[in-house]
Structure 1
Amino acid sequence: MQFQRSDFPEDFLFGVATSSYQIEGHGFGGAGRTHWDDFAATPGNVVRAEHGARACDHYHRYEEDLDLVQAAGFDCYRFSTSWARVMPDGKTPNQEGLDFYDRLTDAMLERGIKPCATLYHWELPSPLADLGGWRNGDIAKWFGDYTETIMGRVGDRMYSVAPINEPWCVAWLSHFLGHHAPGLRDIRAATRAMHHVLLAHGTAIQTMRGLGMSNLGGVFNLEWASPADDSPEAAEKAALYDSIYNRWFLGGVFNGEYPANVLAGVEQHMPQGWQDDFATITAPVDWCGLNYYTRKLIKPDNTPWPSLDEAEGPLPKTFMDWEIYPDGLYKFLKRTKEDYTGDLPLFVTENGMAAPDKLTNGACEDPDRIAFLSAHAAQIQKAIAQGVPVGGYYMWSLLDNYEWALGYEKRFGLVHVDFETLERTPKSSYHALKGALRALT
């Protein structure tokens, strides 16, 4: 790594992130069916119809995995709790699920690791999907009840909590583009999900404040949008993509408003009285998390609104075919402070890359990931030097895991997982990070 801990402020936190359905093994511990199970069971949705029933078996191997977090010198472990594990029908508590997160929390604390929870990382209980899921405005109340149940059990020991991981993925990717569960391609469904996911966020923040909790934030995935050429049409569409992907969610939470260029296309689909919900959506938070991976080049096309498409970019790409564009992280850190959060602490809550990692003689060399993380760390340092209050950097991900519709073939982990034997093998990037975080000077 081209950095070490001492290159950052003394209180800067380094962490690693995972999510429940991607690693735990949803077939264990009384967890209920999720819309991801339904999506994966539908032919053509997921590579080889793979699912998360076993995943990395973190449910049984969490102590081994937390030993890896501790050994590398990470301060924080950003994990998610599964709604369908805590409440299999979406509404009734499951003692086995609550007990698991109790054990997991205590195991982190025993190792000196700060527990950083996310309440929802996409595993909606199927019975709630049957009621309309994120299209149904009642989901904010359901989510508030879930928040009270899980945080009533472990909230007293959390270092930080965010309600929902990546609202754009929950709403647009899943209800307009159809790439993730529930796999809809419906502008009205997407519009309502885009609003209700933020209403649920605000409801959860208010619920946790009512439990006496603090250090609460929001986590947003951001993707830099550049015009594919110098035409005004491409510039207009890049701005629209930016508004749909980035500004809708940050603007709703921090400014209590949605971008006019998006409302022009979707306002007719919004739920009645949506303007009145901003009092809840803008519930004050203590920090803002940014998940950043790539940029897109945007061009106009002749399809119905939003009438845009992606162009092939010239930069080197990861195994996800995503351009490697570290400058975008710096730009987002600067812009988020200036346009939305002011002096509120910012955290890079996810950043990493997929690579075709293979074991050779019991080792896994991943020099491209080391270069990727080093380049993005340099952009964080640049932002800090210019007065942006960045408080931490969490890498995605600890383990190779279930990469949603792409199954198990896209490896983001610092630790290689053999999905037949479930053996964990730290990659060279893990060892490089361990050296950087535990360096004495």
Structure 2
Amino acid sequence: MAATMLGALSVGARKAFAQKRGNLPKGFLWGAATAGHQVEGNNTGSDIWLLERVKPTIFSEPSGSAADSYNRYVEDINIVAELGLNCYRFSAEWARIETEKGQFSQSALDHYSRMVDQCLAKGLAPVLTYSHFSTPRWFAALGGFEEKDSAEMFARYADRLTRTVGDRLALAITFNEPNIARQLAAMPAFGELRKAAGQMFASAAREAGSNHFSSSLFVDPDRTESNMLAAHRAGYQAIKAGPGSFLVGPSLAIADEQGVGDVNQAEEKRRTLYGAWLEAARGSDFVGVQTYTRNLVGPDGDLPIPENAERTQMESEFYPSAVGGTIRYAAAITGKPVYVTENGVATEDDTRRVAYIDGALREVRRCIDDGIDVRGYIHWSLLDNFEWVLGYRPKFGLVSVDRGTFRRTPKPSALHLGRYARSNRI
């Protein structure tokens, strides 16, 4: 199954899918996602590890051992396969691979190579993210993506990783949500967040013996976006150089921006938050859509969440239909195939996760029925994990993780998604 899937994904241009209603395209990816720093644990060489521990910090708690997935990846991959999914999305940690500038760890490269092999052994298509927010501490101490040579440094890392695992990949993502800084900057409370983050960065710089410490999550996007776009392009070229022949693209954080009234700022907001990266996706092989909710946008910007709306643990509106709008938008702007590379909900009530999955997949089905080239649905997240500044409180996982023993327990929602995947029908 894996070899067939890899072959199908290597074809550059495919005609629009023509399927009987209910059946999904052959080779459609059903998966669950994780990110290295959020699940591996003890990522001590990364920028985020330091930022979690300095005083002051905006992180509610440190990541610590996370879900111990660096040691338990075989169990995690086996769970994905046992659920009936056919792909696993995970990220490599640049900080583990390039421990100091120009110094690469063969043992870390071998680790990620074993992860790819384990996916293939279990019949799963390996979907690899090259950068999922965290970067090496030394890179952040040089200025991160504010540094003019950052694109060259990222491409060097991408080249080294690809030469190790590229011959076995099914799909690759250069950057996870590289437009997140734009979204944060658009938040009403961003001014206070930036002030607090500035104090945290100053402490991190002193700790790292640097004049400046930068992280792509909280920095002013006007200082980093052009360099990150250049890094995506350079990384794309390095990855496509091979070995291997697979699709490469970025995954973008996109909310369903719904205009309210005849005059509203929805389209202007879309251009600001997504325009540059959707243009980058036009020059890539696909666009990854990562959607969790909608925003209502009026003449003066975002409107409050409707008073009677259900809210998630992220204080966003429970709105699974949002993914339909973002798939349509991304496909229309880029003209590229779409993968839903993240979609999910933060909730302690797993019955609501089941309802969310059902609502989201109905929208995926409608998009496919309308002729949009949607090639996969990857749920966030496989595991309850470390959700950055919010720590371990939000529960996105299909699988719960005991923080003391690391015991994994699939939730009913995991089995529910698996039934869709096994039938390849919505």
Common fold, TM-score beyond 0.5?
A: yes
Q: Which residue of 2 aligns with 1:54?
A: 65
**Mapped pair 1:13 → 2:29:** yes
Matches of 2:353 and 2:217, distance apart in 1: 34
**Mapped pair 1:250 → 2:281:** no
Unpaired runs of at least 5, structure 1: 255-281, 302-307, 358-365
Q: Which residue of 1 aligns with 2:52?
A: 40
SS at 2:294 equivalent? strand
| 1:230-276 Cα distance to aligned partner (Å, 9 max, x none) | 484xx13x33332222223103442xxxxxxxxxxxxxxxxxxxxxx
1:299 to partner: Cα distance: 5.6
**Mapped pair 1:201 → 2:217:** no
Unpaired runs of at least 5, structure 2: 1-20, 202-213
Amino acid at match of 1:58: S
- 8 A Cα contact 1:33 1:126, kept in partner: yes
Matches of 1:241 and 1:88, distance apart in 2: 38
1:339 to partner: Cα distance: 2.1
- 8 A Cα contact 2:140 2:215, kept in partner: no
SS at 1:372 equivalent? helix
Q: Which residue of 1 aligns with 2:11?
A: none
1:122 to partner: Cα distance: 0.9
**Mapped pair 1:223 → 2:255:** yes
Matches of 2:78 and 2:281, distance apart in 1: 36
Q: TM-score, normalised by structure 2?
A: 0.83
Matches of 1:186 and 1:402, distance apart in 2: 17
- 8 A Cα contact 2:60 2:389, kept in partner: no
User: Over aligned residues, Cα RMSD in angstroms?
Assistant: 2.7
CA spacing shift, 1:11–1:173, aligned 2, 3 Å: same
SS at 1:49 equivalent? coil
- 8 A Cα contact 2:251 2:287, kept in partner: yes
CA spacing shift, 1:161–1:185, aligned 2, 3 Å: closer
Matches of 1:299 and 1:90, distance apart in 2: 47
- 8 A Cα contact 1:250 1:340, kept in partner: yes
Which residues in structure 2 correspond to 1:114-125 (within 5 Å)? 114-125=125-136
Deviates more, 1:405-414 or 1:239-248: 239-248
Q: Which residue of 1 aligns with 2:329?
A: 335
- 8 A Cα contact 2:159 2:239, kept in partner: yes
Q: Percent identity?
A: 31
- 8 A Cα contact 2:295 2:302, kept in partner: no
Q: Which residue of 2 aligns with 1:276?
A: none
SS at 1:318 equivalent? coil
- 8 A Cα contact 1:223 1:245, kept in partner: no
Amino acid at match of 1:311: P
Amino acid at match of 2:111: F
CA spacing shift, 1:322–1:7, aligned 2, 3 Å: farther
Deviates more, 1:117-126 or 1:431-440: 431-440
Q: Which residue of 1 aligns with 2:383?
A: 399
Q: Which residue of 1 aligns with 2:316?
A: 322
Aligned partner (choices 233, 242, 261) of residue 211 of structure 1: 242
SS at 1:122 equivalent? coil
CA spacing shift, 1:384–1:353, aligned 2, 3 Å: same
Aligned partner (choices 353, 372, 377) of residue 345 of structure 2: 353
SS at 2:395 equivalent? coil
Matches of 1:356 and 1:432, distance apart in 2: 16
Amino acid at match of 1:313: P
SS at 1:79 equivalent? strand
